Structure formats: structure tokens, C-alpha cells
Chain A
């Protein structure tokens, strides 16, 4: 695939332009290709805050964790649902079907999705996290075991490709593709599927992302390892609603 030079050139195109190219490439491939596939997506290992590899079996049930992928500044939720999450057909923002591959790891229960709400881009940052997975039923929507966005009450089903269950969002959260190494029990983020919103995300939050992650770093791919931790550790305020 791409060597270092290719990837640097790809990253230079930055944000939306680069991704548009990736989409065009993806569309040219087989009919069963997902609706969006990030070309040259980094393969990144999930580690805990101390740098040690995150072991899938150590991820608690109903975990509401966060890591950054594929860019340094783009958050994703890492969730362990209770029941096995089977593959599911969901529709992207253009109404095109794609097959979400389901959960990985023990009992196929570990899933990950971009923490950028498909309605109006509410997100999770160091200060406040509006998108959270909770086991308990929330007051605002009456749903439990779902990802809720506490800005305008969109609800997504993490066990079914983050399909929209309620609220104003019109398409699922983009899915982060995971791999579980059965031998080492390690977890890897390997790609994306669904309607990505990174171009809009960068545009909406550029000023803050540059400050928090660095002027160039915010829009470059993570490499090697990426840290995963509970949202409540990462964010000052994980909003419940």
C-alpha cells in the first residue's frame, strides 16, 4: 500500500479533501466495499494511560472509554456491551447500506464509534463530553445501554452499528473498525466505516483542536499506539442526561 512518502502526501491534502479522494477510491472498488473507507487508515494499537497494551479482557462491561483515531484530535468511544454484537446492515447519510462487522474480542462485545454526533457535531473533549454510553436508562430519552448525545437527545445503538434509535440524528456514528488479537488479547483500530464527519469536525473546532493537540498534529494520523481511558478520566464533565 502506501509507503511513508505516499502517506505524508496524503496527509498534506488535509481533512476533507484527502477524505474525498479516499471515498472516490473506495467507490471504485468492489460493490461490497463499505460506504466510506479511509484509504491508508493507520493500524493503531490501543494502550492504557501508562502505555501498556489494553487487554480486551480487562475492559469492563459497559465500559464508556475514549481514544483518539484516526487523527490525533478525533475522538472515538470504546464500549463493551453486555451481549454479543452481531454484524448489522445500517444506512449511511446518503441512504446507502453498509454492513457493520459487529463486535470483537470476548463474546464479540467490544465496539468503537466516532464520538462526533451525526446531528450537529457535538463531541467529547477534555472539558466536556456530550456523547456517552451508559448502561442505565437516561432521563432525557428513556433508553438504556445506548450512546446518547446530551445536546439534542440523539440516541445510537452501539450493539447495532450505532444505528439511530431516537432524536434528530439522521445516520449512524461512523464505526471504527477493530481487530482483536486472540493470542495477545490486544486491540487494534484499523479503519473506519460509515459517514465520516472529520472535515466538518475540523472546520467546527479547528481553533480549539489546534490549541489542544498542536497546529499540525491535530490533523495528522496517530501512529503506533493510541491511549484509551474512561471518558470520566479524560473529560472533566461527562454529561449525563
Chain B
């Protein structure tokens, strides 16, 4: 009771202040006349107060997500329209780069290359980083409710990335999925998962380290193949009696196929077993086994990568396309806006277009989308441009040699989306290995400097 009068926030204030009308009737709320103690009534918390932000100097744009899309978006929204007041919402305290992380698993690079500061990104580029998560959105009032308070905005860009869909590997029970996520983390949402995989490798005694390629348009097409190569390189370099088993539902790698196949054969014989037409249908966490259509595969340790979906936030906000098997956002494919709402954008891996979900794709896309938003805010527009997927894969950890692909996208009426302007270099080389690392360094400069 004393608590309530101090905050001045009674139950009625909560109902008025937050647009969470459904919560009032949901579980956990003490309803009038129930006889339960008012002191235990649900408190809106940060959802009922304004976020601690300076008064907006111009139109406010919120960027949800501080990944490769969000970081680029926040910086270039400001660059393209210095009058914008930009706030980027990201819950992670530190940026950890998923791209290039496979190189770190094999000690080709250190984490100093992969770790970057959100503080610096925001400071260097004239926007505010609000550490928190978006929880609810009132698109009519243009008010975003976050764990750090609510924010009134003019435009909002949602680039929250992906979540894992463990049901796709036959793990339907959420509790089992949580246990699987923790025991054999996939390593495609950056941070702790990657630290765990690194620790697994460093502690690996012998036997099979299992990796898999998911179905669908998963994040980072070459990722599992590159990881297989670099873990194999690691086992060889460390003299570990280990072998990578890579299960792939496809009949060949989904990208740079000839390059990877040649690498598996010429560079990693004895350390890498690539199995095609192998789809995981079940996982026995305690029994260290996965089930495929053709039988069980036992392993000593693993990084199990389920099918991806757009971050659950997109669905929670009612913006997912119900027809999208990955629950991706429903947007105009060329304008990036939500239907009927020119103030809400979705970009990055939560997009529905079948572009490669990659850092370069998101970075180049954000350059374009930020230009669009800046122009439209001033009553103009810019034409659609294809994002660019430049993608290096280090197939040889010992020799630090990489292959690469460079592609764009085009839409053909009647056919849909396809690749265009494809350049492929599948003969690995040290020079491409160096370019591989510089590719990352340049983009970190682009996002953080």
C-alpha cells in the first residue's frame, strides 16, 4: 500500500496509461472486488512511463534491433536526414558478430575483432542507443512501449532478426526446446551461444561433433558449411580424434556448392563427414542422438540449428504474414512498409523476401531503406535498389583460404525473386582469406565508426 502511494500508480492509472487493454482481463491482474490484496496488483512498470530521452529535435525514428540491419539503419537514417531524431533499441549490452565467428572457433581471429560497442556506434553517429526491448506497439498513436519506457515516434523500423523454431526438428515441447537450446546451442544468434560452442571445442575429447543445415531460408546460408570446415581444421590442428558430421537435407550445399564440396574432399578428408538428404526429425538431448528419416546419429557434442523464423516480436505485434512459413513480416517488398501504414517498416532477417539472410545483405539493404525513409519524410522518394549479398567463406583454417560469392536480386513478374549479377570464386586462396577478414573490418567500420 505504501508502495502504491509512493509511485502514485494505482490500478486505474495502469489501465489508462498502458495500451494493454487485454492484460486487464488476462491472468495475473487483480480485478475489482475480488478481495485479493491491492498491493499485489500488477504494476505496469516501465510501460507506463516515458523513456528517459531528450526532447526530440526533429521527427523521431525508432530502430528496433541493433544488428547488421539496425546499426546500419540508425547511422544512415541520421546521415541521410540529419534532422531525424534516431533512437535504436537493443537489449544486448555488446555487439558480437556472428559473421566471421567461425574463424574465431578455429583461432584464425580473436574476439577483439568480433566485439563492438553500442555506446560508440551511437556516440559516433549522432543517435541514441536505448538498452531495452520493444514489448508493445500502438501504431495508431505511434507509441512504442519498451522495457525502458514508452517512446512517441514518427517512424519505426523493426529489424529484430530471427528466432529458432525448434518444432521444425521435432522438438515441439517448449520446455524440451529450451533444454535443447541450452545444451546444443545453434550458434546463429550472437553472443553466449558462440562462447559455448567455442568452449565445447576446446574441451572436446573425441568422437562426433554434429552440425546440421536447417530447412527453409535459414540465416547465413554458408554458415554451417564453413563451420564444418573450420571445426574440422581445428580438430586436425589440435590433434583431436574428432570428426564433424554435417547433416544436410539438401543434395548439395545451398551456396558455393562446388567450392564447399571440393573443400570437404581435398582439405578435410577424415575430419568431415558430409551427409546429404538428411533431415533431423527428432533430438534426444540426454541420449546425445538425433533422428533422421534414415536412422539415428549419435554424437559426443553438437550445435543443432533448427529452422529459423522471424523474431517472435513480429508475430507478437500482429505483423507476421500468416502465409509465411517462417512467420516473417508482411510488407511491401519494394517499399518495406507494412500494408496501410507508411510509418512502420520491417527490414533485416525478419523480411519475407527470399534474399540471403546475411550481414552484407542487411547492411546494404539498410543503406537503401534509410534513404527511402529520409526521402519520404520530406515528401520525396527514391527508387528500389537490390541489396547486395557479398559473402566470403573460409574453407581452410590452417592456410586461411576463402571462397566467395557476390550477388544481387531481381524480381520477375510471373517468376518472383531470383539472383542476378552473380560472381562466384570457388577456388580458395589466401588472398580471398585476407579479403574475407577485411570484408568484416570494413563493415564494422561502417556500422560503428
- Chain A interface (Cβ < 8 Å from any Cβ of B): 117, 119-122, 128, 130, 139-142, 150-153, 168, 200, 203-204, 237, 239-241
Point out the residue from B388, B423, B434 that lies within 8 Å of A239, measured CB to CB.
Answer: B434
Least Cβ distance of B231 to chain A in Å?
Answer: 26
CA distance A128 to B400 in the complex (A): 14
A141-B423 contact in complex given A121-B442, A153-B406, C-beta closer than 8 Å: yes
Tell me the smallest distance from the CB of A152 to a CB of chain B, in Å.
6
Q: Are B406 and A151 touching (Cβ within 8 A)?
A: no
Query: Nearest-CB distance from B344 to chain A (Å)?
Result: 27
B431 near A203 (CB under 8 angstroms)?
Answer: no
**Bound CA span A152–B443, Å:** 9
4 A-B pairs with the lowest CB-CB distances in the bound complex, closest first: A120-B442, A151-B438, A150-B435, A151-B442
Query: Are A140 and B425 closer than 8 Å at their CB atoms?
Result: yes
Asked if B423 and A152 make an inter-chain contact with CB atoms under 8 angstroms apart, the answer reads no
**Which one of B425, B432, B442 contacts A152 once the chains associate, using CB atoms below 8 Å?**
B442
Report if B439 contacts A (CB, 8 A): yes
Bound together, the chains give a CA A204 to CA B447 distance in angstroms of 12
Q: Choose one: B388, B404, B431, B438; the contact of A240 (CB below 8 Å).
A: B431
B449 within 8 Å of A (CB atoms): yes
Docked Cα-Cα span, A151 to B360, in Å, equals 12
How near does chain B come to A148, taking the closest CB pair, in angstroms? 11
Number of interface residues of B (CB under 8 A): 22
Known contacts A150-B431, A241-B431, A241-B432; decide if A204 and B449 are in contact (CB<8 Å).
yes
B390 contacts the other chain (CB 8 A): yes
Given A120-B442, A122-B442, A140-B425, A241 contacting B435 (CB threshold 8 A): yes
B364's partner among A117, A168, A203 (CB-CB below 8 A) is A168
Chain A residues whose CB sits within 8 angstroms of the CB of B446 once the complex forms? 119-120
Judge whether B438 and A140 touch: CB under 8 Å: no
Q: Which residues of B approach A to under 8 Å, CB–CB?
A: 360, 364, 367, 388, 390, 404, 406, 423, 425, 430-432, 434-435, 438-439, 441-443, 445-446, 449
In the complex, A203 Cα to B125 Cα: how many Å? 14
A194–B449 alpha-carbon span in the complex (Å): 21
Main secondary structure of the interface of A (DSSP, over half): loop
What 15 additional pairs, Cβ within 8 angstroms, besides A122-B438, A140-B423, A241-B425? A117-B442, A119-B442, A120-B443, A120-B445, A139-B423, A142-B423, A151-B439, A151-B441, A152-B442, A153-B406, A153-B423, A204-B449, A240-B431, A241-B432, A241-B435
Which residues of the other chain, A, contact B388 by a CB distance below 8 angstroms? Answer: 168
Instruction: Provide the residues of chain A in CB contact with B438, threshold 8 Å.
Output: 122, 128, 130, 150-151
Q: Which residue of A has the minimal Cβ distance to B434?
A: A128
Q: Tell me the minimal C-beta distance from B252 to chain A in angstroms.
A: 22
- Whether A153 and B390, one on each chain, are in contact in the complex, defined by CB atoms closer than 8 angstroms, is yes
Cβ–Cβ < 8 Å partners of B423 in chain A: 139-142, 153
Question: Cβ of B404: which chain A residues have Cβ within 8 Å of it?
Answer: 140
Cα separation A27 to B326 with both chains bound (whole Å): 53
Question: Chain B residue with minimal CB distance to A128?
Answer: B434
For B360, the chain A residues whose CB sits under 8 A away are: 152
A152 to B438, CA, bound (A): 9
A128 to B431, CA, bound (A): 9
In the bound complex, what is the Cα–Cα distance between A34 and B76 (angstroms)?
26
* Complex CA distance for A121 and B423, rounded to whole angstroms: 23
> What separation, in Å, do the CA atoms of A142 and B390 have in the docked complex?
15
Given contacts A120-B443, A151-B442, A204-B445, contact A130 B435 (CB under 8 A): yes
B60 to chain A, nearest CB (A): 25
16 inter-chain pairs at a CB distance below 8 angstroms, sorted by A residue, are A120-B441, A139-B425, A140-B406, A140-B423, A140-B425, A151-B435, A151-B439, A151-B442, A153-B390, A153-B423, A168-B367, A168-B388, A200-B449, A237-B431, A237-B434, A241-B431
Q: How far is the CA of A152 from the CA of B444 in the complex (A)?
A: 13
* Interfacial chain B residues near A122, Cβ < 8 Å: 438, 441-442
Bound form: Cα–Cα A132–B390 in Å: 19
A208 shortest CB reach to chain B, Å: 11
Shortest Cβ gap from B232 to chain A (Å): 25
State A117–B446 Cα separation when bound (angstroms).
12
Q: Which residues of the partner chain B approach A153 to less than 8 Å between Cβ atoms?
A: 390, 406, 423
Chain A residues near B425: list those with CB within 8 A.
Answer: 139-140, 241
How many angstroms between the C-alpha atoms of A140 and B391 in the bound complex?
12
- Considering only CB atoms, which chain A residue lies closest to B425 in the complex? A139
Instruction: Tell me how far the C-beta of A117 lies from the nearest C-beta in chain B, rounded to whole angstroms.
Output: 8
Nearest Cβ distance between residue B434 and chain A, in whole angstroms? Answer: 5
